[in-house]
């Protein structure tokens, strides 16, 4: 198991060693986008990840000089000696599950890890922005939102209940719920699943859509209360999904 700081350090080592090639293979268009997305997905500050990348820069032939005027910290040396030899492909497959909060399974083939960390609908970066990074941004900004003042936050992302967070209000008032979405740019489309739409239609003004926007530059957010009735232009789409199953005969 790795601590949050170790994950940030490993990501910084990766970005320092592979530079633009590292950005490209993860699906990021700039270091700013990578810092915002990776750090917020780990509930950390983007500046911290930038500093960790700069810590390793003196070791590699990239355009930056990094923190070359002081000795490298010992814990950084340890991670460099352990992982600095990895190739781009090896390091990518090692890093993705750490950022995306996936379990590390001993002996798992790299293709299987890749399947968990990305899909045919978009890049790894897109998955982070619309998932872990957007949720991390919401948790970071939550105490500053006036509507939720003095409320307690519960992460429900693992429960599949049609929203990402439950907000318990003081004095036994009815709880609020928040569904979090993320956008790489300042504008774009977000999707509500059938379950999210159903829960939103039932809870009405207790249901909030929180959109974290512009991870490519400087993230900001917009909150929509009762998103089905607040003037947003919702359009229904349908698609057919083919599911493949395997039948195994069990004989006596």
pLDDT tens sequence across 116-141: 444 433 488 998 998 999 999 999 99
Q: Which domain holds residue 190?
A: 134-225
Is the per-residue pLDDT at 69 higher than 90?
A: no
Q: What is the pTM of this model?
A: 0.84
Is the per-residue pLDDT at 108 higher than 60?
A: no
Give 199-209 pLDDT, tens digit per residue: 999 999 999 99
CATH number at residue 192: 3.40.1350
Q: Which of 64, 95, 129 is the last residue of a domain?
A: 129
Average pLDDT for the chain: 89
In a domain, 242, yes or no: no
pLDDT for residue 239: 86
pLDDT for residue 185: 95
95 and 44 both lie in a single domain: yes
In a domain, 247, yes or no: no
Q: Determine contact, residues 28/125, Cβ cutoff 8 Å.
A: yes
In a domain, 234, yes or no: no
Q: Does residue 40 sit in helix, strand or coil?
A: helix
40 and 11 both lie in a single domain: yes
100 and 197 both lie in a single domain: no
151 and 203 both lie in a single domain: yes
In a domain, 10, yes or no: yes
Over its C-alpha atoms, the chain yields an Rg (Å, rounded) of 21
107 or 81, greater pLDDT: 81
């Amino acid at each position: 198991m790795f601590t949050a700081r170790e994950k940030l350090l490993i990501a910084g080592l990766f970005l320092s060693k592979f530079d633009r090639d590292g950005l490209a293979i993860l699906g990021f268009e700039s270091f700013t986008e990578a810092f915002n997305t990776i750090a917020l997905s780990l509930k950390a500050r983007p500046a911290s990840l930038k500093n960790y990348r700069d810590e390793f820069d003196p070791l590699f032939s990239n355009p930056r000089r990094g923190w070359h005027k002081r000795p490298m910290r010992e814990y950084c040396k340890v991670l460099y000696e352990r992982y600095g030899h990895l190739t781009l492909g090896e390091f990518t497959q090692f890093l993705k599950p750490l950022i995306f909060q996936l379990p590390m399974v001993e002996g798992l083939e790299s293709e299987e890890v890749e399947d968990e960390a990305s899909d045919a609908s978009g890049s790894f970066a897109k998955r982070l922005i619309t998932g872990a990074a957007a949720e991390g941004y919401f948790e970071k900004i939550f105490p500053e939102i006036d509507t939720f003042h003095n409320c307690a936050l519960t992460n429900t992302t693992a429960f599949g209940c049609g929203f990402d967070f439950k907000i318990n209000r003081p004095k036994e008032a009815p709880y609020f719920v928040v569904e979090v979405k993320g956008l790489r740019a300042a504008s774009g489309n977000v999707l509500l699943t059938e379950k999210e739409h159903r829960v939103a239609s039932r809870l009405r003004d207790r249901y909030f859509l929180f959109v974290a926007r512009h991870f490519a530059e400087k993230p900001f957010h917009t909150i929509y209360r009762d998103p089905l009735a607040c003037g947003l232009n919702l359009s229904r789409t349908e698609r057919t999904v083919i599911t493949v199953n395997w039948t195994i005969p069990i004989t006596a």
